[in-house]
Structure 1
Amino acid sequence: MLRKARDRIYRGHLRQAVRHTGLNNYLSGPYWKLVYRLSNNIQGYTVSNQTAKFKINNYTEFIRFRDLSGEESILEDLLCSLEPDDIVYDVGANVGTYTCFIASKLGPGQIVAFEPEPQNVDRLRENIKLNNTDANVIDIALSDSDGTIDLSLSGNEAGEGEHMIATDQETETIEVKMARGDTIIDRHGLPNPTVMKIDVEGAEMLVLRGLSETFRNHVRLAYIEVHPEKLPKFGDSASEVHVFLEESGFDVTKISSRGSEFFLRASR
């Protein structure tokens, strides 16, 4: 109802004037904050005939789910590409956008979600339970070595999307467990993945190197968000991600971009 009211008022010459003067950015924020305050704290979304519900406890989560972080086309492609016996690893699961949709399509035990940030882990488990689905949540940061690592925090609310492995003197960090993916699979007796989604804010090559054996021998399809401006903080580059995938036998396609960041789809 609010959207319809806005569209009736905010159109024609008024819309042109607002956009021309640059006021659109200033008006959009207050509008969505009003919608958030009037919304239920549980919201449902449908992508590719799969429906998932998410608990909305703060404005950050509301914005994340309002447009599915701008990744609906990626999620739709992934869901349409799943096969009944796939095992999916969601690396950098955050609060469960991908995990919950995938779990709603596949059966019990077919998705493993990796997320190291404690608040996100709590919300991830909440959302999985809310959807009456099954997923194995592992609160570890995947990397190319085993031990612990400092994780920098981009905010103090669940759903913040830019938590990343600390590379310098960030203002706030927490210590989290870290492990190679190949090690975790053996240690936890996990099924080998056939599909992966990776969103790790610049640590893409750390994850890929730590999963190199598994990736080359078992994965048939991967969606990787590449962060060209953050990769150099880890001594890596976007081209290295592309080369790794091609040398592992994948056909690689760039399927979406957002600013400097983009998604690669790797298949074989």
Structure 2
Amino acid sequence: MQDDIYSFGNGVRVYRRHVLDHQVDRYVKAQAGNLHEPVEEHWFLTLLGEIPAADPLVYDIGCGIGYYTLLLLHERPGAEAVAFEPLPDHAAAIRENRALNGIAPDRLRLIEAAAHVAEGDVCFEAADFSSRVADEGGLRVAARDIAALIAAEARPVDLAKLDVQGAELALLRRIVEAGQAERVRRWIVGTHGDDLFAECCALLGQHWRVVHSDPAPAHQPDGLIVAVRD
């Protein structure tokens, strides 16, 4: 049904039409609390719990249908959430799911653009939750310079979750090379492929402290790196 709702074990709710059948199968078979990504969510909540401020600034870079942003605003009502999502269908889903969870519009800053290494526009391959910036073809979407956005914030980013289907290393390099590493205090990075996992680990280890890394965490499709700035 168009308005059927899928309820996760943590209280987050989304419209069932926003979730793929194979994802629901994974949630059920994992027997891990009916969560989207149990290991990543554990670290997300752990890092969130370490932030003393009542109004943490959290970036969700590549937020899909908004799962982690919804979880953030469920757990920390005073948080300032900034969500990046260039795919129009997913951006629409974020707005629908925000309303479904009773979250006021002013609690979420939705940037309908690809986080990128420069301002402009980029080709974007639309492929559900595997959508990504492409060299050619696909949609043309707006692109925002991630380092410039971080620099423009009135305060450092307390936590950034990065899931950009292969562009993770380029964005991390851009932030470092622009002198903005100290402006992001905590990272949760999803990686896509062994080479990117290794290179992201190395770069994060030079500028932050890696507290967890796993190229193939249980019950989720991507590698995972967690890093903090002491």
**Cα distance between partner residues in 2 of 1:201 and 1:209:** 16
Distance 1:221 1:58 in 2: 28
- Amino acid across the alignment from 2:113: I
1:42 maps onto 2:5 in alignment: yes
Alignment partner, residue 142 of structure 1 = 115
Greater Rg by CA: 1
Which digits, 9 at most, give the CA deviation of each residue in 1:142-166, with x for residues without a partner? 1111111000112xxxxx2100111
Does the Cα contact within 8 Å between 2:57 and 2:157 map onto a contact in 1?
yes
Residue type matched to 1:245 in 2? L
State how far apart, in whole Å, the 2-side matches of 1:214 and 1:65 are. Answer: 41
2:145 matched residue in structure 1: 180
| 1:91/1:197 contact within 8 Å kept | yes
Q: In angstroms, what is the RMSD of aligned CA positions?
A: 2.8
Cα contact 2:190–2:223 (8 A) shared by 1:
yes
Equivalent in 72, 95, 102 of residue 38 of structure 2: 72
Cα distance in 1 for residues equivalent to 2:202 and 2:213: 13
**1-side partners of 2:129 and 2:76: how far apart?**
25
Distance 2:23 2:221 in 1: 19
Aligned to 1:163: 131
Match of 1:118 among 69, 78, 88: 88
| Counterpart-to-counterpart distance in 1, 2:52 and 2:77 | 8
Residues in 2 aligned to 1:54 and 1:102: alpha-carbon distance in whole angstroms: 14
Residue 263, structure 1, aligned to residue 224, structure 2 = yes
Q: 1:40 to 1:152 in 2, by over 3 A?
A: closer
Task: Determine whether 1:57 maps to 2:22.
Answer: no
Deviation of 1:218 after TM superposition, in Å, equals: 2.6
Code of the aligned partner of 1:266: A
State whether residues 72 and 79 of structure 2, in contact with CA within 8 Å, keep that contact through their aligned partners in structure 1: no
- TM-score w.r.t. length of structure 2: 0.80
Structure 2 residue aligned with 1:24: none
Per-residue deviation, 1:194: 1.3
Q: Could you list the runs of 5+ residues in structure 2 that have no partner in the other structure?
A: 28-33
- Please tell me the residue identity of whatever aligns with 2:117: D
Contact in 1 for aligned 2:64/2:129 (Cα 8 Å): yes
Following superposition, the deviation at residue 256 of structure 1 comes to 6.0
Asked if the contact 2:18–2:93 (Cα under 8 Å) also holds between the matched residues in 1, the reply is: no
Q: Which amino acid aligns with 1:136?
A: R
Q: Number of matched residues?
A: 212
Tell me whether 1:226 sits opposite 2:191 in the alignment.
yes
Question: How far apart, in 2, do the equivalents of 1:208 and 1:65 lie?
Answer: 31
Matched residue of 1:211: which SS? helix
Identity rate of aligned residues, in percent?
A: 21
The counterpart of 2:200, out of the listed 241, 249, 252, is 241
Amino acid of the structure 1 residue aligned with 2:15: K
- 3-state DSSP of counterpart to 1:57: helix
CA drift of 1:58 comes to 5.4
Query: Corresponding residue for 1:89?
Result: 59
C-alpha distance 64-97 of structure 1, shift in aligned 2 (>3 A): farther
- What's the CA shift for 1:84? 4.5
Distance 1:128 1:59, change over 3 A: closer
